[in-house]
Amino acid sequence: MRQQLMTCAVLLAGFAATAQETPRSIANPHAQEFTVIRNNAATTVKNQGMTGTCWCFSTVSLIESQCLKNGAASQPDLSEMFVVRNVYLMKARNYVKRQGAAQFGEGGLGHDVLIVAGRDGLMPESVYSGKLPGQEQFDHSKMADTLKKFLDTLLRRRPVDPKWEQRFAALMDQYMGAAPPAKFEYNGKTYTPQEYAKQVVKYDPADYVSLTSFTHHPVYSSFVLELPDNHANGSFYNVSLNELIGATWQAVQKGYTVMWDADVSNRGFAHNGGYALSPKYDSLWNRQQPDPSAAEVNVTPEYRQELFEKLVTQDDHLMHITGIGKGKDNKRFFIVKNSWGVGSKFEGYLYVSEPYFAVNTINVVVPKAALDKELKKKLHLL
């Protein structure tokens, strides 16, 4: 993700409120301009604060929604920062093995969460908040630079200190509090993070699929998406643009939710205004009061690919699609949960038009069970 954008994002989040119940009430005050078709269960809107960890908040929110769909007795509240710590260590190991010739920073992708949660487990927010004593907002504004300087210094000497990971963890403690426990109690039982993930959350990374749509790789192939923050060299299934939109829409219709990675720096994204649109003309765009009925661009795979190749559409920000709806002119929208707090028109949510989704989507993470049989067959997932 572009560093300057993430700086703006976390600054915006830092001034917003932290959390509020939101799941299905978001459209009621605005029924005159938007009708909800379906909005699936979701946990409270959170605030990533002064961090570039949207990739974690969005994907953890996806896992929490899956818990609710699976019949969780109460709203799960998983610790994003437990995952963040382990992803930072994963990035650091990659950076050391590649002798510094790799990406290291705040950015990440949804599959980082899937990988780490499958390997290292999960834990409740109540066990590990990732905040310093008395701290109200997350603040990693200096952490990534501090960690990178440590790694760069480490790599100047050979052999590399075999205990560098302990020193790296101690630096994270300065920004995220004492390291999380190896075991903890939850509802009267003792768990390791791995046991909690499997037994309580019922989490399995194999339950999720990453989809994208670009023409520089064969359709229905699996390829490593060329993004700076794809430090894990994660593969994505390539589908047609119509299939990408359709799979996302159908997943929500079936009661699932979707993690969404998109560009939010281009014209048309207005978090505070409550909408993300791709207006056909500059004169149709008003960031403070966007018009959801405005004419939008006609998106083709070629147009989408051109913007990606020109680095206009890039990996900026990750959010969580929880619902679908339509405007008064029957224009279709995705209902999206953000991680910038509740200080916006729709209390932390926004409505994303299909043209905006088509132009700006980098990838999505979808529960595998939500995909129809025909697409699974094309992707050799059956």
The structural domain count of the chain equals 1
| pLDDT on residue 355 | 97
Residue 181: is the preceding peptide bond cis (ω within 30°)?
Answer: no
**What residues form DSSP beta bridges with 276?**
269, 352
Three-state DSSP state, 4: helix
CATH code where residue 248 lies: 3.90.70.10
| Residue 18: alpha-carbon gap to chain centroid | 17
Domain that holds residue 61: 3-378
- The pair phi, psi for residue 109, each rounded to 5°, is -130, 165
**Residue 308 amino acid letter:** F
Three-class secondary structure assignment of 12-43: HHHCCCCCECCCCCCCHHHCCCEEEEEECCCC
Q: What CA–CA distance (Å, rounded) separates 28 from 338? A: 19
- Is there a contact between 317 and 1 (Cβ–Cβ < 8 Å)? yes
CB atoms within 10 A of CB 296: 21
Sole residue written with tokens 């993700």:
1
| pLDDT on residue 6 | 45
Per-residue pLDDT of the chain (382 residues; tens, 9 = 90+): 554 444 344 434 433 333 333 344 444 445 567 899 999 999 999 999 999 999 999 999 999 999 999 998 788 999 999 999 999 999 999 999 999 999 999 999 999 999 999 999 999 999 999 999 999 999 999 999 999 999 999 999 999 999 999 999 999 999 999 999 999 999 999 999 999 999 999 999 999 999 999 999 999 999 999 999 999 999 999 999 999 999 999 999 999 999 999 999 988 999 999 999 999 988 888 888 999 999 999 999 999 999 999 999 999 999 999 999 999 889 999 999 999 999 999 999 999 999 999 999 999 999 999 999 999 999 999 9
| pLDDT on residue 74 | 83
Record the pTM. Answer: 0.92
Return the sign of the alpha-carbon dihedral for residues 275, 308, 116, 372.
positive
| pLDDT on residue 32 | 60
Q: What CA–CA distance (Å, rounded) separates 109 from 314? A: 13
Sole residue written with tokens 């426990």:
181
| pLDDT on residue 33 | 73
Q: What's the distance, Cα to Cα, between the start and end of the chain in Å?
A: 33
Tally of CA atoms within 13 A in the half-sphere of 131 that contains its CB: 14
| pLDDT on residue 4 | 40
Strands 258-262 vs 208-212: parallel, antiparallel or unpaired: unpaired
Cα–Cα distances in angstroms (integers) from residue 143 to residues 47, 65, 146, in the given order? 18, 30, 5
